[in-house]
Chains A and B, each alone.
Chain A
Amino acid sequence: MIELSEEILLRMYYKMNQARFFEEKVEDLFEKGLIYETTYLSKGEEATGVVSCLALEKGDLTSLTHRGHSQAIGFGLDVNMMMAELLGKSTGYCKGKGGSLHIADVENGNIGANGIVGGGFTLSCGAALTQKYKKTGKVVLCFAGDGATNEGSFHEALNLASVWKLPIVFLIENNLYGMSMPVSKHMNIENISDRSASYNIPGLTIDGTDFLEIYDVMTKSLRYARAGRGPVLVEAKTYRYNGHSSSDAQVYRNKEEVQKWQKKDPLIRFVNYLHENRVFTDKQIQTIEDEAKTSIEHAVEFAMESPEPEITTVLEDIYA
């Protein structure tokens, strides 16, 4: 098993808690009618989103999915600006024009969450081509879901990335459902990582609730891509606790299944590890959780107090 420093463990646990509290707060705000659009919550997927991003180096890039809040928090986006964007405020990442589906921080390497399932694959090829062409030594972490791997763009992107040896790690968060469609019905293979064989690139399947395995495999995969050896396909099996969106009655699964996954909740596994290895005292753990929670409460305050965009901005930024 890999050994992680206290510093990285602290960052991981803090951000995973931020992600959990963020989603719980979003759920709450949505129920109160304060969020305009529907919501695609990543509760249950905090480990894949946060931990994989913490394996990145400064200057690396990422492309996020529609279920991207944990990923964005992991990548280091500001929770105030994220929450403001969800509330459609002028202080949000996209000045209220994008919403949750389009949270982006391009200058810092987040080329955007994506409302099109499978939309990020080929964009990641382009971002990686820039790194290769300019010899930056940076890698692109491309997030996607299980459903997206049935899109043509997945196969075109993996093929191109393979033949051009582009520095990308494709991380598939396999949460077992493409909206309502179970994986067993939408593909005829057990592991999505098997698809790597078609492109002659490494493919690995990992436990998406195990932060240690995620960090270990992502670190190695990123190193492989950074060395100019081409892309890697990593599949992390995980689970979303909420429905696909806020309008999902979840008729396609039962409570027992959800409860079974909640028993191996990534945050519980994390805190158990901290206890077992006596990394932090109970008080320190409580402090990390409290600070994470407070940061999200501040984000909500910031977002609520922020001004709506001026109507005149509707005609701004059509062209660069």
Chain B
Amino acid sequence: MEINEMKKMTYRDAIRLGMTEEMRRDDDVIFLGEDIGLYGGAFGLSEGMLDEFGEARVMDTPITEAAIVGTAVGAAATGLRPVCEMMFMDFVTMGMDALVNQGAKMHYMFGGQAAVPMVLRLPAGSGSGAGAQHSQSLEAWLCHVPGLKVVTPSTPAQAKGLIKAAIRDNNPVCFIEHKMLYKMEGLVPVDDEFTIEIGKTFIERPGKDVTIVTYGTLLHKAIEAAEFLAEEGIEVEIINPVTLYPMDMKPIVESVIKTGRLIVAHEASKTGGVGGEIVARVVESEAFDYLNAPIIRLGGLDVPIPYNKELEAAVVPQRNDFVHGVYRLLNRE
């Protein structure tokens, strides 16, 4: 097999492939969640996995998020490597004690005893009319908890490489997958040893005029904006942290030193969002002296996600918000 051999597949299939490869590789990896077996997962992500791995490893649970997360923590601390799925990221609120008070802290508060190698898969984001309790992007909550790792893939290749790295990691990893990306197609490395390093920030598109830091669906809107702006001779550098916590700031700081202009963007509510943390770290760094303009923070409106399609779209930043942001930073408006 060619190491660089690629196959076209969806983001959803890439996550499934990554999980499947890891379950074939390591018998300690088990998968638990609601309706993941015969039903194949609420989003069809685990179709076929029950057939391959059986009920002992693909475990349908009752509707019991607190017990799913707690069971994963307890199993991880005693020798398994559980992957568990919250049907929607919003439901992680029901499992927060086990995640925040138990899993995230065990290794530290027990003085280095007990590793908690688990993955919590969290389908997030708006854009499907699912309303206020099925559309949230709660990553900032998780990024506030030392001991957790928080990652989010934005492409099929990242989805495969990152879920594999998350399963191999010896810590609780919150794997946030955007529901609106499930059908996105892209080239994915076939190599079953392909992983994406957790804790490493990636430059998605090089440029010299403005730095945009973003992830998830907004990464694609930023790329569209960059392509549009390129026609006008404006070169936008797009950076995708991939690991939201703990974040590798070096490429971001270096980029801002180069461009002097920064836009941070995410779908999650702006107040208390991850973007604010990125901005704070940039202004604390040596990049502060290189800033040529105020920083722009694009984020979701501070409202619950509404149901109506137009209202829902109005909550999150769009392609033109990036375009206008770049114009503003370059004094072209």
Contacts and interface: CB of A to CB of B under 8 A. Distances in A.
B115 interface: yes
Interface string B20-62: 0000000000100000000000000000000000001001011
B119 interface: no
Interface of B: 30, 56, 59, 61-62, 64, 66-67, 69-80, 82, 97-98, 101-102, 106-117, 146-147, 149, 170-171
Contact of A153 (B67, B80, B106): B67
Interface stretch (A121-129, A211-219, A244-252): A121-129
Given A126-B77, A129-B74, A130-B79, 7 more contacts: A111-B114, A116-B101, A122-B67, A125-B70, A126-B70, A156-B70, A319-B149
B66 A318 contact: no
Contact of B111 (A92, A115, A152): A92
Q: Which of B97, B102, B115, B170 has the most CB of A within 10 A?
A: B102
Given A116-B97, A153-B67, A160-B62, A127 B112 contact: no
B113 A123 contact: no
B97 A61 contact: no
Contacts, number: 148
Contacts of A207: none
Contact of A122 (B69, B110, B112): B69
B66 A111 contact: no
A121 B69 CA distance: 12
A130 B67 contact: no
Nearest to B30: A133
Contact of B116 (A95, A125, A152, A320): A320
Interface of A: 61, 63, 92-98, 102, 104-107, 111-112, 114-116, 119, 121-131, 133-134, 152-153, 156-157, 159-160, 163-164, 316-320
18 contacts: A61-B78, A93-B111, A95-B112, A97-B110, A104-B113, A112-B114, A119-B102, A122-B73, A122-B98, A126-B72, A126-B76, A126-B82, A129-B71, A156-B67, A156-B70, A316-B112, A317-B107, A319-B107
Contacts of A319: 107, 147, 149, 170-171
Given A123-B74, A125-B71, A127-B75, A98 B66 contact: no
Contact of A94 (B67, B72, B77, B110): B110
Contacts of A127: 74-75, 77-78
B259 to A, nearest CB: 32
B113 A160 contact: no
A68 to B, nearest CB: 14
Contacts of B61: 160
Given A123-B70, A126-B74, A133-B30, A97 B62 contact: no
